[in-house]
Structure 1
Amino acid sequence: MPVRLPIALLVAAACALALAACSRMDLAYRNLDRLVPWSLNDYLDMNREQKTLLDERLQTHLAWHCQTQLPGYLDWLDRVRDMVAKNQVTDLALQQRTAEARQAIGRVAEEITPSASELLRGMTDAQVAEMRSAFADDIRERQKEYVDTPLTEQIASRSERMEKRLSGWFGKLNDAQRQRVYAWSQALGDQNRQWIANRQHWQQQLLLAMNQRNDESFEPRLATLLQHKESLWTPEYRAAFHNTEQQARSLLVDLLQLSTPTQRQYLQERLAKVRTNFSELKCLKG
């Protein structure tokens, strides 16, 4: 998925779903309208009119998201907590939760497409060139960090990153769990290469669309890029993606089986805290 584009509305709203991984998602959610413009400055020099439009659309979409979408996230979190409490974290159950999360992201993409189209239509040729240069830098940096290293180092680094993320939910992992995380990383192989190649392919498709941003076909093309990006995946990435999802589900199932009562209690407390932070957002009560 592209990162920090002028399509900030998608980033802002989609982050709301991913914020369950943040320990202070309540604070982050309330400040998304401030955080997103800062990230845009790394990639695009917007004029005053564009910044005003972005701010207006962010406020509107964040209000829509909080009031209409977050209640569904609370229900989703309840289903996750129930799975853990009843020891029913299975591959099928995880597929269902993943499908629900994907549908939620799809609703966000559909909601913000008209605003993203309006913002992107207003970009100058110089700004499009700036976007092209930023995309090239993005790919070079990721290629250097995730691909231009020996595969053994990629596997070790990926395992370390995952172990660090998981420790925020389980507490310290035991030896068996760490070994399982490393096996998961090995099973993904050189998927970094397919991920970055597909990322570059998506970026090129957006740039092609930007060349036709004044045509009637622009918004439908942008809708495909935002709402149905899987239809543009390369064959190699499609295979890698399905393997990645399958391996992730298998990892979570096994980690729960290898968990201690203390870890499961810790996980329940973390999930409960996430739900509480979401439920106490003022926009939900307004």
Structure 2
Amino acid sequence: MSRWFKHIAFMLIVALALGACSRVGLAYRNLDVIIPWTLSDYLDMNGEQKSWLDERLKEHLSWHCTTQLPGYLDWLDRLQTMITTNQVTDAALQARAHEAEQAIAETAREITPSAIELLKGLDDKQVAEMNDAFAKDQRKRQQEYLKPSLDQQIKERGARMEKRLNDWLGPLNTTQQQRVATWSRTLGEQNTQWLANRVHWQKQFSAAVAQRQSPEFPQRIETLLVNRESLWTPAYRQAFANTEAQARSLFVDLMAESTPSQRARLLKKIEGVRKDFSDLKCLKAGKQG
């Protein structure tokens, strides 16, 4: 389930929790997936740091597979039951989203001490490179998500969502396509709000790392990684709640308009993710133990 932790935006319950779960085995071979921000994107580590991190990640990975994955299987069961029994409601989706958020927070808490230790050991050159990478990330995303006109942003957002849905449901009918277009229009300038909050978080992270030898550093990093919502701007808090509500409404309506073949495809895709989890050797070893 690579990238669950990285700037999670509730686009759609299935996209949130399942969309990035394809090829679970590959994700589990890519050890940095359980870090809540992508080290390789922002940090140029030396050999000693990479070796240390590798060992830590193996430990975290073992913990994650044996203690967390069984809960994901139960979560997938609940998702399948919702679809099979035609109980895809706003309340049910809120419950599944809350469960996913709790799982994310639990893993973030587990790996935060390693993140703190790694960050404490960075030299000034590495910190400068990290800040440069943040700035590059901001420029890239502004170019991609803010430079187009609002009409174009809305069109591209709808196209991205339709592409995800086609993967999970198969081709959308005309009514479903129109509903996706309405959803995208309703979000309006969400790109601006999302990116502003991302920049806000990165600035606070950089400020914390600049003071990485201070006694307050561990607590600041824990807040940034585990309780990042507490640092959101009031405007983004409101925007995020709206984004979640609109995503739930979209999915409820799409499922209400879904065909038997679309539901069958969705259930088959979820079952595929479930099998990928169940087949992981670490999970089997835990059951045998």
TM-score scaled by length of structure 1: 0.91
- Correspondence 1:9-48 to 2 at 5 A: 20-22=18-20, 24-33=22-31, 40-48=39-47
Which residue number in structure 2 is paired with residue 228 of structure 1? 227
- Which runs of structure 2 are paired with 1:73-88 in the superposition (5 Å)? 73-88=72-87
Does the 8 Å contact 2:27/2:33 carry over to 1? no
For structure 1, the 5+ residue unaligned runs are 5-9, 12-16
Pairing of 1:150-165 with structure 2 (within 5 A): 150-165=149-164
Alpha-carbon separation, structure 1, partners of 2:139 and 2:278: 41
CA distance, structure 2, for counterparts of residue 93 and residue 132 of structure 1? 40
| Cα distance in structure 2, aligned partners of 1:34 and 1:128 | 19
Matches of 2:44 and 2:272, distance apart in 1: 38
Report the counterpart of residue 204 of structure 1 in structure 2.
Answer: 203
Q: Secondary structure at the match of 1:214?
A: coil
How far has the Cα of 1:197 moved from its partner?
A: 0.6
Q: Which runs of 5+ in 2 are unaligned?
A: 7-14
**CA root-mean-square deviation:** 2.1
Contact 1:195 / 1:237 at 8 angstroms: preserved in 2?
yes
Alignment match, 1:172: 171
1:114 maps to which residue?
113
CA distance in 2, matches of 1:26, 1:42: 21
Aligned AA for 1:158? R
Where 1:149 maps in the other structure, the secondary structure is: coil
Q: Partner amino acid for 2:27? A: Y
Shift of 1:192: 0.5
- 8 Å CA contact 2:25, 2:276 repeated in 1: no
Q: Give the Cα separation in 2 of the matches to 1:242 and 1:25.
A: 30
Amino acid at match of 2:45: M
TM-score, normalized by length of structure 2? 0.90
**CA distance in 2: counterparts of 1:194 and 1:41, whole angstroms:** 26
Q: Which residue of 2 aligns with 1:148?
A: 147
Q: Letter of the aligned partner of 2:93 in structure 1?
A: L
Q: CA deviation at 1:271?
A: 1.1
Percent identical among aligned pairs is: 55
CA displacement at 1:27 relative to structure 2? 2.6
Match for 2:76: what amino acid? L
Q: C-alpha distance in 1, partners of 2:59/2:124? A: 28
C-alpha contact (below 8 Å) 1:155/1:189 kept by paired residues? yes
**2:102 aligned residue:** 103
**Cα offset, 1:206, TM superposition:** 0.7
Letter in 2 for 1:245: E
Change (3 A) 1:32 1:18: farther
- Is residue 258 from structure 1 mapped to residue 257 from structure 2 by the alignment? yes
Deviation sequence 1:77-105 (CA, Å, 0-9, x none)? 00000000000000000000000000000
Structure 1 runs (4+) deviating above 6 angstroms are 34-37
**Distance (whole Å) between structure 2 residues aligned to residue 174 and residue 51 of structure 1:** 49
Length, aligned pairs only:
274
